[in-house]
């Protein structure tokens, strides 16, 4: 049985259809890249996976369970907007990510010490150890984004949801974060859903690339029909989509 099962999911806001007939089965540990035109419902799909909102129709089941009614710590997310706590230092932001599931959100004694050590190891990996005691407002946009990624990864969710996580990063840092994400995923067997506008990135990191698009379009009423998954590419073979592999076979 698949780990994440999305069956005939529809979503609409008011009378505007956003998504329709979305069906997909995902195995545990798969890395799913999601691409599609702006506004076609990719973030909406992530929010439904996170159980931040319920589908208008259809079911999303995770590990055989029924659709969750609210977010739980099995899932994590890097929001498009920075999701760090402004009143906590960089190090405290990472420690906080470990304490989400404790009563009152606090860690004490030995647990806090271990969490602080892990936070320092994470700071090293995301290249923010030199600003550990600063507050997020004093960091550049890219640094804040790295902190948000580190925070989501610290929580080590079974499912990691990333919404354009590397958008604000310079090319060098982006490549570093790619390596880091792949290492972390190998260590934890996390299932990852990542929305990106960069196709190359989608194919490089993903095992599969899902394309969201509207198969039906009413020019008089753009909100009439929703988007669905129109392509499901296997990206494991060096990131070559099926069509190109077929072309190569024909010309060989
Ligand atoms: N809570 C909401 N209420 C009403 N409309 C919404 C709501 N959330 C999203 N929308 C609309 O639904 C559509 C899909 O939004 P969504 O953010 O999922 O698209 P997206 O594919 O992630 O876009 P982008 O690539 O630009 O981030 C948009 O037209 C958006 O304005």
* Ligand 1 binding pocket mutation candidate from 16, 22, 39 (most atoms within 8 A of CB): 39
Predicted TM-score (pTM) of the model is: 0.85
Residue 216: its pLDDT value, please?
Answer: 87
Count CB atoms within 10 A of the CB of residue 64: 9
Residue 34: its pLDDT value, please?
Answer: 98
Of 18-22, 215-219, 232-236, 246-250, where does the model show the most confidence?
Answer: 18-22
Reported in sequence order, the residue ranges of 41-115 that DSSP labels E, i.e. its strands, are 57-62, 75-78
CATH class of the region 1-71+196-252: alpha beta
> In the predicted model, is pLDDT for residue 233 greater than 70?
yes
Going by the DSSP 8-state scheme, the letter that residue 70 receives in this structure is: S
Closest residue to atom 30 of ligand 1, CA basis: 39
* Ligand 1 binding pocket mutation candidate from 40, 193, 228 (most atoms within 8 A of CB): 40
Residue 115: its pLDDT value, please?
Answer: 87
Domain ranges across the chain? 1-71+196-252
Cβ contacts of 107 within 8 Å, gap of 6 or more: 95, 98, 99, 115
Closest residue to atom 25 of ligand 1, CA basis: 38
pLDDT digits (tens, 9 = 90+) for 124-170: 988 899 999 999 999 987 788 889 888 888 877 888 888 888 887 88
Residue 111: its pLDDT value, please?
Answer: 79
Residue 106: its pLDDT value, please?
Answer: 60
Q: Tell me, in angstroms, the distance from the centre of ligand 1 to residue 111's CA.
A: 40
> In the predicted model, is pLDDT for residue 189 greater than 80?
yes
Split at pLDDT 50, 70, 90, the class of 6 is: very high
Average pLDDT, the chain: 85
Split at pLDDT 50, 70, 90, the class of 228 is: very high
Closest residue to atom 18 of ligand 1, CA basis: 41
What is the number of the ligand 1 atom nearest to the C-alpha of 47?
Answer: 18
What is the number of the ligand 1 atom nearest to the C-alpha of 80?
Answer: 27
Closest residue to atom 20 of ligand 1, CA basis: 39
pLDDT digits (tens, 9 = 90+) for 135-147: 999 998 778 888 9
pLDDT digits (tens, 9 = 90+) for 26-56: 999 999 999 999 999 999 999 999 888 999 9
Residue 104: its pLDDT value, please?
Answer: 47
Q: Tell me, in angstroms, the distance from the centre of ligand 1 to residue 127's CA.
A: 32
Residue among 194, 191, 186 nearest 62 (CA)? 191
Residue 244: its pLDDT value, please?
Answer: 54
Tokens of 235: 């990206």
Please answer whether residues 148 and 62 qualify as being in contact, where contact means their C-beta atoms are separated by less than 8 angstroms: no
Q: Tell me, in angstroms, the distance from the centre of ligand 1 to residue 13's CA.
A: 9
Tokens of 153: 């990864």
Please answer whether residues 202 and 165 qualify as being in contact, where contact means their C-beta atoms are separated by less than 8 angstroms: no
Residues whose beta carbon lies within 6 Å of some atom of ligand 1: 13, 18, 36, 38-44
Closest residue to atom 5 of ligand 1, CA basis: 13
What is the number of the ligand 1 atom nearest to the C-alpha of 164?
Answer: 27
Residue given tokens 């960069």 in the structure block = 198
pLDDT digits (tens, 9 = 90+) for 57-82: 999 998 888 666 666 666 666 655 55
Give 146-208 as a 3 state SS string: HHHHHHHHHCCCCEEEEECCCCCCCHHHHHHHHHHHHHHHHHHCCEEEEECCCHHHHHHHCCE
CA distance 146 to 150: 6
Strands 16-26 and 4-13: antiparallel
Q: Tell me, in angstroms, the distance from the centre of ligand 1 to residue 88's CA.
A: 30
Residue 35: its pLDDT value, please?
Answer: 97
Going by the DSSP 8-state scheme, the letter that residue 38 receives in this structure is: T
| Residue 41 φ/ψ region, left for φ over 0, alpha for ψ in the -120 to 50 degree band, beta for the rest | left
Residue 103: its pLDDT value, please?
Answer: 45
Q: Tell me, in angstroms, the distance from the centre of ligand 1 to residue 48's CA.
A: 12
DSSP β-bridge partners for residue 162 = 78, 194
CA distance 32 to 235: 9
């Amino acid at each position: 049985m698949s780990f994440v099962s999305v069956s005939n999911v529809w979503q609409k806001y008011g009378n505007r259809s956003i998504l329709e007939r979305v069906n997909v089965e995902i195995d545990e540990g798969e890395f799913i890249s999601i691409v599609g035109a702006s506004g076609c419902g990719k973030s909406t799909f992530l929010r439904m996976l996170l159980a931040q909102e319920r589908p208008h129709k259809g079911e999303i089941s995770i590990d055989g369970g029924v659709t969750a009614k609210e977010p739980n710590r099995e899932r994590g997310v890097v929001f498009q907007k920075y999701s760090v706590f402004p009143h906590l230092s960089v190090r405290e932001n990472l420690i906080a990510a470990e304490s989400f599931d404790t009563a009152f959100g606090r860690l004490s004694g030995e647990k806090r010490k271990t969490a602080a050590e892990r936070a320092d190891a994470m700071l090293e990996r995301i290249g923010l150890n030199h600003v550990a005691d600063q507050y997020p407002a004093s960091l550049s946009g890219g640094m804040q984004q790295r902190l948000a990624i580190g925070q989501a990864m610290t929580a080590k969710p079974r499912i990691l949801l990333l919404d354009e996580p590397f958008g604000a990063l310079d090319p060098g840092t982006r490549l570093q974060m790619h390596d880091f994400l792949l290492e972390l995923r190998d260590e934890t067997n996390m299932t990852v859903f990542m929305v990106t506008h960069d196709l190359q990135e989608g194919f490089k990191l993903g095992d599969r690339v899902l394309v969201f698009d509207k198969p039906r379009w009413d020019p008089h009423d753009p909100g009439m029909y929703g988007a669905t998954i129109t392509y499901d590419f296997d990206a494991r073979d060096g990131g070559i989509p099926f069509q190109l592999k077929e072309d190569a076979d024909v010309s060989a």
